[in-house]
Amino acid sequence: MPDTVPQGAQLAKLQRWFTPFEALKMATCDNAELLKMSGDLTPYPLGPLGVIAAGAYADMILVDGNPLEDLDLVADPSENFDMIMKDGVIYKLAFD
């Protein structure tokens, strides 16, 4: 079975070639733009993607730190993510 790299760790590896801002933008709003191009095949037909707005599909995380300064924070979500929300449902909420 092939080794798998967690999504956040894979994203953090992009800092070799991209700034943290560029890597995060590619993983979020740039990917949303690609999904919009899928037309009728989109898995998200009921609202906009890549934005935080009423009626939009939005996943949000609250990071303990600034990933724009330290992209390695996203490599360990169990340690560095204080909140994870998907489709308006909070899956993790942890504050010190």
Domain boundaries, the chain: 7-93
Burial per residue of 57-83, b for 16 or more beta-carbon CB atoms within 10 angstroms, e otherwise:
bbeebeeeeebeeebbbbbebeebbee
pLDDT: which is higher, 88 or 31: 31
| Percent of all residues in the chain with a pLDDT value above 70, rounded to a whole number | 93
Domain 7-93 has CATH 1.10.287: no
Q: Is the pLDDT of residue 42 over 70?
A: yes
pLDDT of residue 3: 54
Q: What are phi and psi of 87, to 5 degrees?
A: 55, 35
- Arithmetic mean of pLDDT over the chain: 84
CA distance 14 to 93: 27
- Per-residue confidence at 94, pLDDT binned at 50, 70, 90? confident
User: In the chain, which ranges are E strands?
Assistant: 59-63, 81-86, 89-93
Q: Is the pLDDT of residue 17 over 90?
A: yes
In the block, residue with structure tokens 């740039």:
30
